[in-house]
Structure 1
Amino acid sequence: MKLMEGSIDLNKKNEIRKSLNKNKGVFYYIKRDIILYLMLVLPVAYILTFKYGSMYGIQIAFKDYNMFEGMSKSPWNNFETFKEIFASQQFYQVVRNTLVLNGLDLIVGFPAPIILAILINELRFKKFKRVSQTILYLPHFLSWVIIGGIVAQLLAPTGMLNSLITRSGGDVLPFLTNKFAWVGTYTLVGVWQSAGWGTILYLAAMTGIDKELYEAADIDGAGRLRKIWHVTLPGIKPTIAILLILQLGNIMAINFDRPFNLQNNLVMDYGDVISTYVYRVGIQSANFSIGAAVGLFQSVICLVFLLSSNFISKKMGEQGIW
């Protein structure tokens, strides 16, 4: 009887609290969490200015843009810009190159930080573990200009590695001059630069796995590989699903720095991608309408991939990004 009375009193208290909270206005919550709102001012201002504010310039893609007349006075061109880029063979070539390079990054580069994070997590000597993490993080902080110089010094036909090979009696390997070899070099250099930094999220997810699961696996006689397969990987599966969705959403987006600093005239058939094409045609040639149209096409395709991968992930019972 007393338990029932206590539960009734608790329900009444909860109802009173809810009614009081309803009567409190917006300013009450702003005042209560003023520090958090102030911390949000700069990020929100950045997003509004550089992400949403720049959307005003999308209209350039639908106009014969003249920088001297401005966006408002430039005449509409009845989708002539899009007709021009879709009639260009070079456009389809850069789209193909972008998909190939990003696809290889997805196939080779996406599992790399997962495997690396599992290996680091399995280390028992803590000092060696910290030193290894620091060494693996360092390439992320090098700019692609520096990495491009390192790659040229090491892998060029007259570079350090080929010099060692020729002195040993071997033939020069075309790491940067053969198209297919360049694609492999591009992919592996990207893995080297990003894999260490990519382990951070996976290692953080591994710290959230219940230690009792590992203890139960030990009692059942599971070895390290069994624990990785049945405990670690299922524990980080939601993180893997979310990062995979985000990477699929960027399948048509490619950074400018990496291909620009690694490509050369001998491999342009495979090294010229959307970002370098927009730079060359849209900026260097001052054809801003084409640059904006290609960028808009790229964004639409990325959005379709993002929505599709998120939908498929949720249908398969995995976590989505919303």
Structure 2
Amino acid sequence: MDKDELGAFLRSRRERLHPEDVGMPSGSRRRTPGLRREEIAVLAHISIEYYVRLEQGRAPRPSAEVLAGIAGALRLTDAESDHLHLLAGTAPTPSGVHRRDVRPSVLALLERLPQTAGIVLSVAYEVLAWNDLAAALMEDFAALEPRDRNLARRAFLSPGDPEAAIYGISDGVEFKVGVVTRLRSAQARYPSDRAIADLIQDLRDGSAEFARLWERHDVHVPPPLTKTFSDTPVGPITVDCDSLTIGERDQHLVLYTAPVGSRDAENLALLGVIGAQALSTRPHAS
């Protein structure tokens, strides 16, 4: 049970609610944002003292029933409720470190998908695998050190133009918010993973934007359905974006495609030819 994170998360959700959100009259001016602690306690059917101690990080572990009541009182989404249980230690939590090894069948699938750019991401936003079209659309990941293949580091810690650092994508702001929320979830699932903890600390220390978003305690962002890559040799390409979960390894297979017969599909195919030519001329280690 992470008492400090649990308390901070509860406060952040409570402060976002308004009385009318839970069927209460607005009443007189409030000195602090959101609902009062006693109002949440009443809605959750628990004692005010116990809820106050939860927010202060001083309470013993709540039961699953108490957490369900609190989730209902705070109007948590399914993702937020799952995160609440993880922080309280009432949900199964993977032990050890996150997986970085990619299943051979997934690697083979990446190469067999026609006219599709694909990458495999770890929970820490490391690019673990990619196909040639993804390298042409984004960058030649093989030419980078493993540490530099991290999209979270690129998004928040790259010098110069931050949009160029993430390939000129059209949803750069939303992408960054998604990075923060998924890293928070990863931290809850892998509390003893030093690599995740160090990454988050580096991002908090090196990026005021990340630090600000981190303090919001968001844990769910709708996934993008389309994305435009502006920085390609053939000009902007708008693609459909699909993220498929590889459950047993806690990884994501991210696929970028364009509608058949569209101008974007033609440009994506052209990019594949250009990218294949560039990769074929790249020096190989002996």
Give the TM-score band, short-chain normalised.
Answer: under 0.3
Bigger Rg, structure 1 or 2: 1
More helix by share: 1
Normalising by structure 2, report the TM-score. 0.23
Instruction: Report the structure, 1 or 2, having the larger strand content.
Output: 2
